Amino acid sequence: MANTKVKGYNILLTIGGKSIVGTTADTFSGGGVLKESIQKSDAGSTQYSNAGFEGTHSVNAFVYNGTAASGEMNVESLMSNCATNATGTYVLPFGTTPGDPKITGTCTFDSFTLNSDSENYADCTVDITITSAPTVTTV
């Protein structure tokens, strides 16, 4: 199969089976953590090993008033989850076609930021820390 571009709207973070109402952008960042060591037995040569994974998700969304639909998290639930550092399982697919990659794991809500000015619709940013090494499977 030839390479195909991934459309941004096909990448939607869900946590505990719920998406964030009004999501406009998802950001996934992470990678392995290198641990450096020097031992006498190898004549002081620096050695590197993988000590785990560190990563984050960040979601930008419009702020909506009212009750969230089934399968969605609204502003109140996002702020509450961030205030209590709630944890959950996440799913982040990179497309909708069978065989497209999908990342899963556990995460913790970190912070909620409200962004507003005098003319535009209010939006928010939610930051989430990945707390387990991600598992890559397919849709």
Whether the per-residue pLDDT at 135 is higher than 80: the answer is yes
| Per-residue model confidence (pLDDT) at position 51 | 82
User: Average pLDDT, whole number, for the chain?
Assistant: 90
Phi, psi of 80 (to 5 degrees): -65, -45
Give the pLDDT confidence score for residue 45 in this predicted structure: 82
pTM for this entry: 0.81
Write down the pLDDT at residue 24: 93
- pLDDT, one tens digit per residue, over 3-23 is 888 888 889 999 999 999 999
All domains of the chain in start order, with CATH: 8-138 (2.30.110)
- Return d(Cα 13, Cα 132) in angstroms, integer: 16
Q: Are 110 and 86 in contact (CB under 8 A)?
A: no
**Could you give the angle at the alpha carbon of 124 between the alpha carbons of 126 and 80, nearest 5°?**
55
Q: Could you read off the pLDDT of 57-74 as tens digits, one per residue?
A: 999 999 988 888 899 999
